[in-house]
Amino acid sequence: MAMRTTHRVQCGCGHMGAIRQVENDQPYSSPYDAYSPVDLTGARVEFTRPVDWPEILELMALACPACGAALNQGHIIKQP
């Protein structure tokens, strides 16, 4: 089974999108994480090793579809 998490992203222009994370949470299996843009421009990326947000976002090359601005870690809305 895979655990799915949605990380909300907001551009300075007000456009809202998200990054959908799918994480393998099966015990005794290989690690796997995939990150996909939702309502944002960018690439889906997959990892079989631990990664941090700067690397994920660099490889995704996220941008706002409304204004074309590049998005970074500062655009991720913190969850309470």
Residues ≥6 apart with Cβ < 8 Å to 74: none
d(C-alpha 48, C-alpha 38), whole Å: 22
3-state DSSP call for residue 49?
Answer: coil
Asked if residues 34 and 45 have their Cβ atoms less than 8 Å apart, the reply is yes
Tokens of 50: 């631990």
Q: What is the pLDDT of residues 26-50, one digit of tens each?
A: 777 777 899 999 999 999 999 998 8
Q: Indicate the average pLDDT of the chain.
A: 91
CA distance to 17, 63, 80, per residue, from 33 (Å): 19, 21, 23
**pLDDT of amino acid 10:** 96
**Residue 70, amino acid:** A
Domain spans in the chain, listed from the N-terminal domain onward? 2-75
**pLDDT of amino acid 26:** 74
